[in-house]
Amino acid sequence: MRKEKEKKKKKFGIFQWIVFGGIFPILIALSILLIVLSIQGINVFKETEKIPVIGNFLGQEKNDETSVDDLENTIRKLQAELKNEEAKSSQLQSKLEDKEKEIAQLEEEKKRLERDLNELMNSKGTTSKNWDSVIKTYETMKPKEAALILVEMDENTALNILADLSEDQLADILEKMPPQDAAQFTNRLAELEKSQ
């Protein structure tokens, strides 16, 4: 009886050989591989989605449904951003055109004033009355416009005009000039005062 029990114990069936000899070692090897890859920072489940046949079985259908909605939302957002950028672009373009017109007007005024000033300076009968009218012209101008014109003008002429302006008007004009030009004119005015 004992021998019969020992024979039953020793006798393994085909199913047991398959389970213990094949499936369990494969499961243990896959578990170890999964642990090693997880430690290295590789997400095995995401990587298997890249495999053509296996990826189809792992939830590709859900991604397709949501991806269409996501793409439509993305398209709407991008179209809204495009409209905003186009509006900004048109605003900047109109500002640029306004500034170009302003620059053209200032250049014309500068040329006219320089021409008038040169005529006055070159004429032999220059009177203080004519010079006073030039000074009054600059005193009535906006300080920013006067500063832009004086910076572009012949330095000696600009210096003579600045020297004859009132202190308040001079301060306003120098304030509107670029710092480098304002410093240069201030130095020249100080030298002019010392020499007189």
Is 88 within the bounds of a domain? no
Cα separations in angstroms, 48 against 28, 37, 39, 58, 62: 19, 13, 17, 8, 16
Q: Is residue 176 part of a domain?
A: yes
- Dihedral sign computed on CA atoms, order 158, 135, 163, 177: negative
Q: Which amino acid is at 95?
A: K
**What's the domain range around 130?**
105-195
Tally the domains of the chain: 2
Check if the beta carbon of residue 147 is closer than 8 Å to that of residue 180: no
Please report, in tens digits, the pLDDT of each residue of the chain (196 residues total). 555 555 555 566 777 777 777 788 888 888 898 888 888 888 777 777 777 666 566 555 555 556 777 888 888 999 999 999 999 999 999 999 999 999 999 889 888 888 887 777 666 455 667 777 788 888 888 888 888 888 888 888 888 888 888 888 888 888 888 889 888 888 888 887 777 6
Same domain, 53 and 121: no
Are residues 109 and 173 located together in one domain of the fold? yes
